[in-house]
């Protein structure tokens, strides 16, 4: 990993922090994207203390905000000639329906639209042989309801989260198809139930479930190994369009393999984010 540049989002806690620590120890040059500068600095220092390669670089961005993602992409283009691995790991789930500054439902905006926009805006920076890795979840819905993508009709913590993660899986597979022939791969993985910061700040039944995961879930260091495997393993050269669990390809729900739904979701996501997908795709061909 010593000559690899890896961008990872959501590295301030949980799976992202653990993955960043392991990749830093392997000598990768890390670009860490954090939302909160103070938390980010503390995590960056912790990751830096393990680095066997270059010092990690820290950039703040709110991945639920289109403008913030565009600003992040501009900084990346200014400062870096290329990125080898992009790990879209940041994720959230709102107990109640909240809207972002762009008037988008927050869980969908952060977990699907954020990775979609960021990936599209930096695709031209990803080197041939590069890898896009999305952190998804086994909790993904079995059907995509385009009339309720943002919980407009009915909203619950679980359905919003499951919908956003199914969207992220559909995005991964569609991206892999669109990247055929470019040498860039796209895969996703679920860390499985993990005792991370996820669900902190929730209430009631959701809080009970989060507390249970804190007790029975895997340690972030263990869950992060799949991210590290996907980012670093030579066995992953050329492997694309897969969903991984415990370093092994697994099957996601049937709806995520529906290419018509994936193409429709791509168009909807482009409209919601204003992503200039064609520019980025053309730039890498």
Ligand X SMILES: NC(=O)c1ccc[n+]([C@@H]2O[C@H](COP(=O)([O-])OP(=O)(O)OC[C@H]3O[C@@H](n4cnc5c(N)ncnc54)[C@H](OP(=O)(O)O)[C@@H]3O)[C@@H](O)[C@H]2O)c1
Binding test (CB under 6 A) with ligand X, winner from 157, 171, 198, 229: 198
62 binds ligand X (CB under 6 A): yes
Applying CB under 6 A, the span of 49-57, 78-86, 88-96, 258-266 interacting with ligand X comes to 88-96
Task: Please give the structure tokens belonging to residue 285.
Answer: 């061909």
Q: Is 229 a catalytic residue?
A: no
Query: Given the complex with ligand X, which of 51 and 93 has the nearer CB atom?
Result: 93
Task: Please give the structure tokens belonging to residue 189.
Answer: 């993985």
197 binds ligand X (CB under 6 A): yes
* Integer angstrom CA distances of residue 23 from 98, 177, 202, 207, 279: 34, 27, 30, 31, 31
Query: Given the complex with ligand X, which of 16 and 56 has the nearer CB atom?
Result: 16
Would you call 184 exposed, middle or buried from its count of C-beta atoms within 10 A (0-12, 13-18, 19+)? buried
Binding track, positions 15-54, relative to ligand X; x by CB under 6 A: xx------------------xx--x---------------
Interactions with ligand X, residue window 93-152 (CB under 6 A): 110, 135, 137
226 binds ligand X (CB under 6 A): no
Catalytic residue numbers read: 161
Q: Residue numbers of the site for ligand X (CB under 6 A)?
A: 9-10, 12-16, 35-36, 39, 62-64, 89-92, 110, 135, 137, 190-191, 193-194, 196-198, 213, 217
């Amino acid at each position: 990993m010593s000559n690899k540049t890896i961008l990872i989002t959501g590295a301030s806690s949980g799976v992202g922090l653990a993955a960043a620590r392991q990749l830093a120890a392997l000598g990768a040059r890390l670009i860490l994207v954090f939302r909160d500068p103070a938390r980010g600095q503390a995590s960056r220092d912790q990751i830096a203390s393990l680095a066997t390669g270059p010092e990690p670089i820290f950039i703040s961005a709110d991945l639920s905000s289109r403008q913030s993602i565009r600003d992040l992409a501009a900084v990346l283009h200014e400062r870096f000639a290329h990125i080898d691995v992009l790990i879209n790991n940041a994720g959230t789930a709102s107990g109640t329906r909240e809207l972002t500054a762009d008037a988008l439902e927050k869980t969908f905006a952060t977990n699907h639209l954020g990775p979609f926009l960021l990936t599209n805006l930096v695709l031209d920076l990803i080197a041939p042989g590069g890898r896009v890795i999305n952190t998804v979840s086994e909790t993904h819905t079995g059907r995509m309801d385009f009339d309720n993508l943002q919980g407009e009709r009915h909203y619950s913590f679980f359905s919003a989260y499951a919908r956003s993660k199914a969207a992220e899986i559909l995005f991964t597979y569609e991206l892999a198809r669109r990247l055929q022939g470019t040498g860039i791969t796209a895969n996703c993985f679920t860390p499985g139930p993990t005792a991370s910061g996820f669900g902190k700040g929730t209430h009631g039944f959701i809080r009970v479930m989060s507390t249970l995961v804190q007790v029975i879930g895997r340690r972030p260091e263990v869950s992060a190994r799949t991210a590290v495997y996907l980012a670093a393993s030579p066995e992953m050269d050329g492997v694309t369009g897969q969903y991984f669990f415990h370093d092994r390809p697994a099957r996601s729900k049937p709806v995520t393999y529906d290419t018509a739904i994936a193409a429709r979701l791509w168009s909807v996501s482009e409209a919601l984010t204003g992503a200039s997908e064609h520019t980025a795709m053309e730039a890498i061909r």
